[in-house]
């Protein structure tokens, strides 16, 4: 079984780059726990291959359509060590149809108690605010750190309980292959 580092790349370097990017903006790595990181697949074939191999490293919490493409989330059997504390979940995102994506780790998400307080405490930070009231994003090209009030695992549990998960349509990957 390939290790997570073999599948995802150097997660230590990824976390260090995020922590350094936060520090460059005057933000500590201790704002809140990082509840997950996201790996973006460049192709549907890569998504399917990684989806199968990552299942050895975690339990699937959900797979559904988000933003027009499949995303699967795993609760890792062994949380990843990071400057933000243990990171318990991993998101694997398929590419959006018609867009080119680079393969690799793309963002981490930190849970904070209050997004408005974060904005008020750090007015100098160029947060992208279009996701308010649910999300703030700090762009650290080519990476991002996103901030939420609720963990991904809690959000998923709420969506499952309330029937809000949009399933991946049967034949989705076959249709994408024919259309692409």
CA-based nearest residue to 112, from 83, 138, 140, 146: 146
Cα 130 to Cα 136: distance, rounded to the nearest angstrom: 8
- What was the pLDDT predicted at 1? 80
Cα separations in angstroms, 105 against 10, 11, 18, 98: 9, 8, 11, 20
The residues, ordered by sequence, that sit 6+ positions from 22 with a Cβ below 8 Å of its Cβ are: 28, 29, 31, 138, 145
Percent of the chain with pLDDT over 90: 88
- pTM of this prediction? 0.92
Which tens digit of pLDDT belongs to each residue from 32-76?
999 999 999 999 999 999 999 999 999 999 999 999 999 999 999
Q: Is pLDDT above 60 for 178?
A: no
Cα separations in angstroms, 22 against 89, 92, 126: 21, 23, 11
- What was the pLDDT predicted at 175? 65
Cα 111 to Cα 146: distance, rounded to the nearest angstrom: 9
With beta carbons less than 8 A apart as the criterion, state whether 104 and 95 touch: no
Cα 152 to Cα 58: distance, rounded to the nearest angstrom: 15
């Amino acid at each position: 079984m390939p290790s997570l580092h073999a599948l995802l790349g150097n997660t230590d370097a990824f976390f260090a780059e995020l922590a350094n990017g936060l520090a460059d903006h005057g933000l500590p790595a201790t704002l809140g726990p990082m509840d997950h990181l996201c790996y973006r697949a460049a192709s549907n074939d890569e998504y399917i291959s990684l989806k199968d191999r990552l299942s050895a490293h975690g339990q699937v919490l959900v797979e559904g359509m988000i933003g027009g493409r499949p995303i699967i989330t795993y609760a890792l059997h062994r949380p990843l060590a990071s400057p933000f504390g243990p990171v318990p979940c991993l998101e694997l995102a398929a590419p959006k149809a018609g867009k080119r994506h680079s393969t690799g780790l793309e963002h981490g998400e930190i849970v904070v108690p209050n997004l408005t307080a974060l904005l008020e405490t750090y007015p100098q930070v160029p947060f992208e605010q279009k996701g308010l009231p649910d999300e703030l994003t700090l762009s650290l090209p080519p990476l991002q750190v996103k901030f939420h009030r609720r963990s991904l695992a809690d959000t998923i549990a709420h969506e499952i309980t309330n029937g809000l998960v949009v399933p991946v349509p049967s034949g989705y990957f076959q249709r994408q292959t024919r259309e692409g």
